[in-house]
Structure 1
Amino acid sequence: MSHNYESRIVWTGNRGEGTVHYRSYDRTWDIAVPGKPVVHCSNDPLLGGDPGKMNPEDLLISALSACHMLWYLHYASEAGLVVSAYEDNPVGIGEVAPSGAGRFIAATLRPRITLQENPDLERAAAIHHRIHEVCFIARSVNFPVSYEPEFIVVA
């Protein structure tokens, strides 16, 4: 079964003269999905973008982490593991070729997961390796994704 995911991207960087010169326009845009808040975006700051706005690389690594988190919560629930908090500080590693073309070459998810009441930590850690088989985003990327979970146990 297929699903459609739709978005609207609107370039907001026209300073009045369009793309008449390479430096005559801003690399900014809005993501506008009907019924959802608008996300203001910019190019990577290394390429002259606004560091206060999300860039495509931020969005990709965030989507990868969020998809992983949602599947982790699902599998933890099925396994009888009670998760009371989950946060991640993922890191994507990119490279730029001499031609200027860039790509991600790896990502590491570093979730910090709070578990309740004497959990099976081996089972909690094993869940991470099952997720890549089902996570929509993880199955769509062409770079390796590794996991460095930290578990906090509270009584």
Structure 2
Amino acid sequence: MSKQHPFESRIIWTGNRGDGTKSYRGYDRNWEIRTPGKPVIACSNDPLLGGDPALPNPEDLLLSALSACHMLWYLHLASQAGIVVTSYEDDPIGIGESSPNGAGRYVSATLRPTIRVKAGADLQRADSIHEEIHAYCFIARSVNFPVAYDATYHED
């Protein structure tokens, strides 16, 4: 039987310059993510939509969450397989599209981890782990766009 896990977050819009949304250009697209007991994360909209380019936007956060979830499951499954990972970095890329009415969506994502493993590791097995992760990763199981993997391996 499945077990449900509650997740809580609070989103607080911080972009009111004094007149609220009286005019389209009269407010900032900034907000904070407040998760109980954790640091506040300042965010903004995509810069193409008037956001602050110095702050993460929802699209950044979704891609980062997908990559982090994949990484955590990769480390777990690699450990179970006897593959010693000593370093893991990812440079994921997400492809979005916008329709003429402004609606947007992700159409695909490619995770591009660079993984360092102890010398002698079974690199074929190390690579096959990526295909197993979609069965476990909470985020990957929740998105409706294809996720591809293009991993690079180095041995210590």
Q: Deviations over 1:101-135 (max 9, x none)?
A: 00000000000000002110000000000001110
Q: 1:118, 1:48 → 2: CA distance?
A: 50
Deviation at 1:151, TM superposition (A): 0.2
- DSSP 3-state at the match of 2:37: coil
Note the 1:3-18 alignment, pairs <5 A: 3-18=5-20
- 1:48 aligned to 2:47? no
* CA-atom RMSD in angstroms: 0.5
Q: Decide which of 118, 138, 141 is 2:140's aligned counterpart.
A: 138
Structure 2 counterpart of 1:101, one-letter code:
A
Q: 2:24, 2:119 → 1: CA distance?
A: 58
Q: 1:8, 1:38 → 2: CA distance?
A: 10
Deviation at 1:24, TM superposition (A): 1.0
Q: Decide which of 86, 108, 113 is 1:84's aligned counterpart.
A: 86
Unmatched tracts of structure 1, length 5 or more: none
Note the 1:1-155 alignment, pairs <5 A: 1-154=3-156
Structure 2 counterpart of 1:48, one-letter code:
G
- DSSP 3-state at the match of 1:104: strand
- DSSP 3-state at the match of 1:85: strand
Identify which range, 101-110 or 45-54, moves more after superposition.
Answer: 45-54
Q: 1:13, 1:4 → 2: CA distance?
A: 28
Q: TM-score, normalised by structure 1?
A: 0.98
Q: Deviations over 1:46-88 (max 9, x none)?
A: 1111000000000000000000000000000000000000000
Moved over 2 A (4+): none
**Percentage identity across paired residues of the two chains:** 65
